[in-house]
Amino acid sequence: MIHTDGLTKRLGGRTVVSDVTFRCEPGTVTGFLGPNGAGKTTTMRMLVGLSEPDSSHAQVLGGRYRDLPNPGRRVGILLDASAQHAGRRGREALAVSAHTMGVPAQRVDAVLELVGLDEAAARQRVGKYSLGMRQRLGLAHALLGDPEVLILDEPANGLDPEGMRWMRGLLRTFADRGGTVLLSSHLLAEVEAVADRMMIISSGRIRAQGSSAELLTESRTIVEADDLAGLDAALHRAGLPTHPADGDRRLVEAEPEVVARVAMSEGVVLRRLAPAEGAGLERLFFELTTSGTSTPSTRTDSIHLEPRGATA
Amino acid sequence: MTATTLVAPIRENTAGVHARPGLGRLVAVELRKMVDTRAGFWLQVAMVALTVVVVVVRLLVGDRADHTFQPVLDVGLQPSAVLLPILGILLVTSEWSQRSALVTFALVTVRSRVLGAKLIASLLRAVAMLAVSVAIVAVGVLVSSPGVEGTWSDAAPLIGQSAVNLTAGMVVGVALGAILLAPAPAIVLLLALPTSWFAVLSLPVFSDVAPWVDYARGLGQMTEYVMSATQWAQVGTSLVIWMVLPLLIGAWRVTRREVTA
């Protein structure tokens, strides 16, 4: 379980993380999305006490991370896959940490096998590793202590499509067994398939968060009817915002099911009913993160985002 | 081997999950870190090899009557005296230059415990190196000049002083490393400091204070003769300035500095 309430960090006079509030529950995978430099890494560093927040503090497993007696056994962290001594062999890098947290040496071989680093790779010095191998070593390191919580910064970075599929399976299994996962990415596609919940951060602020179902649900509908006036009237009475679209169509800010019910109850025959294309999370992500300092647009509200902090 | 058997918050092995890693374990980890990297490993191989070389050379040249314990020890400790502080520097700075601090301080959140473990590990490594050097010197002396009068005079106090020499030198390395947190400037400072400080102290104005603040000379004399009480006091004051003070500043730096990814 991870919980923050108004986490804020200033660096060099600039607010890099501002009033960040979220909650990650056991059994869920939370995707932390945002462009590079949005504050994801700084937020994650504050979660694990490597960086001191200027206000508020993060809670991991019901207390501050630094108050955990043996944090490596409860929280697995991958913040930077390259943060290993280049002159140390892969297996030894894991063995040093296993030694520190009191994990038996066999566990090192087990996680190496799990992430697919073979004997030859384990004996190589980390300086010779490719980015993908470092990423796998980093994941092995995060899993080393058999933790309950995983905090992973850009774990898919450098993995090939097969590796990404493998990692998704791993995280899914971890969460299904009651683990809590927080993983960040600057690419929507990397987390979309595995995350139960998502948060989008840009310029240090959480712009949107909610369950993936909510965020991904198509909430705009293209509708066509012979009796356009009747349709407009019906939608107006139902209070659904409607915009004219190409041809004799209407773009309705509601889900197709809602529109269908309105049409049926008003006796309007529909010729076409379909989700609007190019909408959903991708558009939201793009809108929120490309304009830099922009505030959430009005459209954000139209796709049923939960208010910040009010998470289930 | 499947993910389900390994990735399990419902863990099979619960021993030690809520137990803070003890200082003994942290010291053992730091000793391990000194030898498990390429740089650390070869630095220590070099230390032993150079000790053998200088002892052999020292015993091959000069008068046989001159091959007593003290002059050979004086030479035989030089490789360790020069390289141990560098090992101390690397032990601290590599965490930052190689960014493994991210891992180290995530596993042990109380950073002063990590620094303390590094310090204790350094002391143990310096004492171990002393034992190796003394053994090499003793074997060399026994082989090359058995039965020379006064070979072993003052051996015990000289070994004791050598222990102070090597351990204090190594702690200076750890301290400089902790202040600068980068290997290159710390090593340059370590090597340049005694010489430049000596240049300043050789000004006539400083002739009275010089012995009290010159730690390099203070440590250097330890392998030459048995020191007087005054000389110990002088070494004490210079070590407060060049070892204790930097260590405190370094500890402050290490515990406060942001660990950036």
Q: How does pLDDT run along chain A (312 residues), one tens digit per residue?
A: 899 999 999 988 899 999 999 999 999 999 999 988 899 999 999 999 999 999 998 999 999 999 999 999 999 999 998 899 999 999 999 999 999 999 999 999 999 999 999 999 999 999 999 999 999 999 999 999 999 999 999 999 888 888 889 999 999 999 999 999 999 998 888 888 899 999 999 889 998 888 877 776 657 788 888 888 889 999 999 888 888 877 778 888 888 888 899 988 888 899 888 877 545 666 667 766 665 444 444 333 333 333 333 333
pLDDT score of B53 more than 80:
yes
Q: Do residues B166 and B77 lie in contact, with contact meaning Cβ atoms separated by under 8 Å? A: yes
pLDDT of residue B259: 80
CA distance A73 to A70: 6
Assess B77–A contact: CB distance below 8 Å, yes or no: no
CA distance A253 to B127: 76
CA distance B31 to B88: 11
Residues of chain B contacting residue A87, judged by C-beta atoms under 8 Å apart: 37-40, 98
Q: Are both A12 and A85 inside the same structural domain?
A: yes
Q: Are both A6 and A100 inside the same structural domain?
A: yes
Q: Are both A31 and A160 inside the same structural domain?
A: yes
In this complex, the residue of A45, A72, A92 whose CB is nearest that of residue B261 is A45
Q: Do residues B89 and B174 lie in contact, with contact meaning Cβ atoms separated by under 8 Å? A: yes
pLDDT of residue A217: 64
A188 part of a folded domain: yes
In this complex, the residue of B6, B12, B102 whose CB is nearest that of residue A143 is B6
Q: Do residues A280 and A218 lie in contact, with contact meaning Cβ atoms separated by under 8 Å? A: yes
pLDDT of residue B33: 95
pLDDT in tens, B220-258: 899 899 999 999 999 999 999 999 999 999 999 999 888
A39 part of a folded domain: yes
Assess A141–B contact: CB distance below 8 Å, yes or no: yes
pLDDT of residue B1: 41
The candidate with the shortest Cα–Cα distance to B57, out of B43, B37, B78, is B78
Q: CB B106 to CB A174 under 8 A?
A: no
Assess A221–B contact: CB distance below 8 Å, yes or no: no
Q: Do residues B226 and B161 lie in contact, with contact meaning Cβ atoms separated by under 8 Å? A: yes
Residue A186: CATH number of its domain: 3.40.50.300
Both tokens of B63, joined, read 């008068």
pLDDT score of B6 more than 70:
no
The candidate with the shortest Cα–Cα distance to B115, out of B166, B164, B181, is B181
In this complex, the residue of B8, B32, B99 whose CB is nearest that of residue A96 is B32
Assess A87–B contact: CB distance below 8 Å, yes or no: yes
CA B176 vs CA A98, A163, B186, B248: distances in Å = 29, 43, 6, 10
Mean pLDDT score of chain B, rounded to an integer? 90
Residue A258: CATH number of its domain: 3.30.70.100
User: Which residue in B6, B32, B99 has the most chain A C-beta atoms within 10 A of its own C-beta, making it the best mutation to test that interface?
Assistant: B6
pLDDT score of B11 more than 50:
yes
CA distance B193 to B207: 18
User: Which residue in A16, A46, A100, A150 has the most chain B C-beta atoms within 10 A of its own C-beta, making it the best mutation to test that interface?
Assistant: A100
A74 part of a folded domain: yes
Q: What is the 3-state secondary structure (H, E, C) of A101-143?
A: HCCCCHHHHHHHHHHCCCHHHHHCEHHHCCHHHHHHHHHHHHH
Q: Which B-chain residues 225-244 have CB contacts (< 8 A) with chain A?
A: none
Contacts of A138 (CB under 8 A, 6+ apart): A78, A80, A81, A84, A155
Q: Do residues A94 and A111 lie in contact, with contact meaning Cβ atoms separated by under 8 Å? A: yes
Q: State the pLDDT confidence band at B110, using cuts at 50, 70 and 90.
A: very high
pLDDT of residue A304: 35
CA A123 vs CA A94, A126, A160, B35, B219: distances in Å = 12, 9, 22, 16, 41
CA distance A129 to B112: 32
DSSP state of A76: E
Min Cα distance B28 → chain A (Å) is 9
For A10, left (φ over 0), alpha (ψ -120 to 50), or beta? beta
How much of chain B exceeds pLDDT 90, in percent?
72
CA B158 vs CA A100, A183, B73: distances in Å = 37, 59, 9
pLDDT of residue B66: 83
Q: State the pLDDT confidence band at B133, using cuts at 50, 70 and 90.
A: very high
3-state secondary structure of A245: strand
Q: Are both A147 and A57 inside the same structural domain?
A: yes
Question: What total of structural domains would you count in chain A?
Answer: 2
Which has more confidence, B44 or A192?
Answer: B44
Look up tokens 């793009």; give the residue: A286
In this complex, the residue of B10, B12, B106 whose CB is nearest that of residue A50 is B106
Q: Which B-chain residues 101-120 have CB contacts (< 8 A) with chain A?
A: 101-110
pLDDT of residue A193: 85
Q: Which residues pair with A17 in a beta bridge?
A: A9
Please give the ipTM for the structure prediction.
0.89
**Boundary (domain end) residue, out of A179, A210, A241:** A210
pLDDT of residue A190: 84
- Burial profile A97-129: b = 16 or more Cβ within 10 angstroms, e = fewer: bbbbbbbeeebbebbbebbebeeebbeebbbeb
pLDDT score of B119 more than 60:
yes
Name the residue type at position B253. R
pLDDT of residue A299: 38
pLDDT of residue A310: 35
Q: Are both A75 and A196 inside the same structural domain?
A: yes
Q: CB A146 to CB B8 under 8 A?
A: yes
pTM of the model as a whole? 0.84
With 0-12 CB in 10 A as exposed, 13-18 as middle and 19+ as buried, what is A48? buried
CA distance B28 to B125: 11
With 0-12 CB in 10 A as exposed, 13-18 as middle and 19+ as buried, what is A135? buried
CA distance B96 to B92: 8
Q: Are both A114 and A34 inside the same structural domain?
A: yes
Q: State the pLDDT confidence band at B158, using cuts at 50, 70 and 90.
A: very high
pLDDT of residue A307: 37
pLDDT of residue A289: 63
Assess A198–B contact: CB distance below 8 Å, yes or no: no
In this complex, the residue of A83, A125, A173 whose CB is nearest that of residue B102 is A83
A258 part of a folded domain: yes
Task: Count CB atoms within 10 A of the CB of residue B97.
Answer: 17
A231 part of a folded domain: yes
The candidate with the shortest Cα–Cα distance to B6, out of A60, A25, A103, is A103
pLDDT of residue A177: 92
Q: Are both A89 and A167 inside the same structural domain?
A: yes
Q: CB B103 to CB A141 under 8 A?
A: yes
Name the residue type at position A277. E
Q: Are both A222 and A204 inside the same structural domain?
A: no
Ranges of H-type helices in chain B: 3-6, 23-35, 38-60, 69-76, 78-97, 101-107, 111-144, 155-180, 183-201, 210-213, 215-220, 229-239, 245-256
Q: Do residues A172 and A178 lie in contact, with contact meaning Cβ atoms separated by under 8 Å? A: no
Q: Are both A17 and A112 inside the same structural domain?
A: yes
Q: Are both A93 and A182 inside the same structural domain?
A: yes
How much of chain B exceeds pLDDT 70, in percent?
94
Q: Are both A163 and A41 inside the same structural domain?
A: yes
Contacts of A120 (CB under 8 A, 6+ apart): none
Q: Are both A206 and A110 inside the same structural domain?
A: yes
The candidate with the shortest Cα–Cα distance to A21, out of A267, A310, A248, A272, is A310
CA distance A143 to A155: 13
- Which structural domain range is residue A21 located in? 2-210
Look up tokens 């300086």; give the residue: A127
CA distance A149 to A48: 11
Q: CB B102 to CB A79 under 8 A?
A: yes
Q: CB A100 to CB B107 under 8 A?
A: yes
pLDDT score of B159 more than 80:
yes
Min Cα distance A216 → chain B (Å) is 28
Assess A102–B contact: CB distance below 8 Å, yes or no: yes
pLDDT of residue A12: 85
In this complex, the residue of A70, A85, A146 whose CB is nearest that of residue B98 is A85
A56 part of a folded domain: yes
A305 part of a folded domain: no
Q: Which residues pair with A149 in a beta bridge?
A: A75, A180
Task: Count CB atoms within 10 A of the CB of residue B251.
Answer: 19
Both tokens of B233, joined, read 């006091």
